[in-house]
Amino acid sequence: MLSEETRAIIKATVPVLETQGTLITKTFYKNMLSSNTELLNIFNKVNQKKGAQPTALATTVLAAAKHIDDLSPLIGHVKQIGHKHRALQIMPEHYPIVGKNLLIAIKEVLGDAATPEIIKAWGEAYEEIANVFITVEKEMYDEAAWPSWKPFEVIDRQQVAKEIVEFTVKPVNGSGIDLNALKITAGQYITVNTHPTRHENQYDALRHYSICSSSTDGGLKFAVKLEETPGKDIGLVSEFLHKDVKIGDNILLSAPAGDFALDEKLIEQNEVPLVLLGSGVGVTPLLSMLETQVKANPARPIYWIQSSKDETTQAFKKHVDALLSECNNVEKIIVHTNDQARIDADFLKAKVPSGSDVYICGSLDFMNAMIDHLNGLEHTADMIHYEPFGPKMSTIKV
């Protein structure tokens, strides 16, 4: 339990965190990964470079400071981050390393303004916050479908769009995993542990990929887009999976994770429409949700809104059409941006009924735009659910 004095000091640092928080976390990551290079086997260097991870951590620290009197309102965010940590195999022994380097970064950025009292208070606060994460994550580790990383054999790979491959995998013999007993919640992701050798890479590279289907009949399926846009960062893992991994090869996976899921209370009813709004490979978890909804209750009103550059990059076209053909009340809306079409506020006002339960997935830019549009149209926050490519806390306002 933090003392009243410590909590007062933490709350007094909120204005500084609002202006300097991202600089502190950028400094933190630079220092920590320089002095603890083994952590480069865990952290996504692309998120570091793009700034998404420092922004996410800065938001988390700011939220903790604002709620230091009572951290319980943050439990939802803690669980969302905890899913990622569990999937990446972040362990309790990693937290002291983070705490040490966070305090160093605060001192480095704030200089003389970071008094011994502030450093001491943040040291105590960090320990309290870390214990919340460790407690939540322990439960997730205990409930995971399997521990650590397990080898899976690639038994199929299908091109489902110009730049997107759907991989089907099964546990290797002796893994202890019963695929038939595996419970998948539509919207979850798996995490792939690879060690690409292209581009002089020295480290393991871990990435999350959405699961294509809540059914494991025939194998566990996930989709990967090849990130190879000229002039931009090459997707180290997507390139490895697309170009180097063949049928018969083994890859390491951690157990399914994530809190992006359909509202179970609404699946069986027909009054609240379901809106599935995705861009590019972001339709992958939405496909799994559509499959689950159709199987449970095909009479529910469904709006499938899918954005892609053109028809060649429109993922899962045949699969989506097959599922929608089983629905009793469905509207399919396809947007090709190469035709200058855009999903904007006017589009959403015309196409998305008020009171709908909306699920969104896509790039961070797409996510932020869709959420801003829907908020502007007065859709309630509890009816807007989303999963971005990248750290979700980078999209949160606190």
CB 309 within 8 A of CB 337: yes
- Catalytically active residues are 95, 137
Q: Which distant-in-sequence residues (6+ apart) come within 8 Å of 223 by Cβ?
A: 160, 164, 165, 166, 167, 209, 210, 212, 281, 284, 315, 316
Q: Pick from 176, 169, 173, 175: which is nearest to 213 by CA?
A: 169
From residue 222, alpha-carbon distances to 173, 186, 225, 282, 322 in Å are 20, 12, 10, 12, 19
d(CA 191, CA 211): 10
> Ramachandran region of residue 390, left (φ > 0), alpha (ψ -120 to 50) or beta?
left
Q: Which distant-in-sequence residues (6+ apart) come within 8 Å of 93 by Cβ?
A: none
Beta-carbon count within 10 A of 15 CB: 10
What is the DSSP code (8-state) at residue 208? E
Neighbouring C-alpha atoms within 13 Å toward the C-beta of 282? 26
